[in-house]
Amino acid sequence: MSSKLVAIVPAAGVGARAQAARSGGAVLAPKTMPKQYRMLKGEPMLRRSVRALLADSRIAQVRVAVAQGDPWVAQALSGLPRTVWRACGGPTRAQTVLSALRDAALDAGDWVLVHDAARPGLPPSALERLIDTCLAHGAGGLLAQQVADTVKRARDADAGEAKAPQVVQASVPRDALWLAQTPQMFPAGLLLGALEAAGTALSQLTDEASALERAGYAPCLVPGSVRNFKVTWPEDFVLMEKWL
């Protein structure tokens, strides 16, 4: 591989949903330690996610993007090889990724792989599969899981009945449906161009592939892993510890 492969880990979120139970159901103000620094089997979640990436020697560097004034990152990442961190976090995930990408100043032909700090369970085999597929096809792609359950679309909630249960409008054919995971891997120039072209829609993009799709590309869907779920809700910490 003549071009280099660099990983970006957006880690500037506050983990509001993960704190819901501890605040009695309400979403907390971002004062408590964000979820990416909570310990999972004796190690901060962020450190585990970075170590999962370092397992593949083709990744030349891992660049972690944190919020301004983050007091936890230096300790959480101490001693890890090929790893740097920058206080370039933005108000949304997509804005964090865009500023990290600009900060990295990669060549257009380099590859960039974006991975959530909140996915510490990434298996080496899934990472290897993604990198192999993207390099072989010369195109970008993402890890994803085919939907296994029957899918329902809810009818618009009745504004007058806040406590009424949601009801089904229709069942949705699931054959072509996949759930997007990370890492997501693209040529750096392509991803930067697609994120910049999103303009005011940037903050609505929930993953990198969406930016490429808007720009007319069709990213490869590479089978991910059930272990690679995103730690989002309070109960996810216990579940992830069982996998690790």
Ligand X SMILES: Nc1ccn([C@@H]2O[C@H](COP(=O)(O)OP(=O)(O)OP(=O)(O)O)[C@@H](O)[C@H]2O)c(=O)n1
Q: What is the DSSP letter of 34?
A: P
Please say which residue, 34 or 121, places its beta carbon nearer to ligand X.
34
Please say which residue, 236 or 241, places its beta carbon nearer to ligand X.
236
Please say which residue, 3 or 232, places its beta carbon nearer to ligand LQXTBERG.
232
Tell me if the bond preceding 187 is cis, omega within 30° of 0.
no
Nearest CA-CA partner of 56 in 93, 99, 4? 4
**Contacting positions for ligand LQXTBERG (CB under 6 A):** 93, 116, 180-182, 206-207, 230
Minimum separation from the CB atom of position 29 to ligand LQXTBERG (A): 18
Whether the CB-CB separation of 82 and 59 falls below 8 Å is answered with yes
- Return the one option of ligand X, ligand LQXTBERG, none that residue 17 interacts with (CB less than 5 to 8 A, by type): ligand X
- Return the one option of ligand LQXTBERG, ligand X, none that residue 99 interacts with (CB less than 5 to 8 A, by type): none
Neighbours of 62 (CB within 10 A): 24
Tell me the residue type at 182: T
Alpha-carbon torsion (92, 98, 103, 106), positive or negative: positive
- Return the one option of ligand LQXTBERG, ligand X, none that residue 96 interacts with (CB less than 5 to 8 A, by type): ligand X
Minimum separation from the CB atom of position 3 to ligand X (A): 25
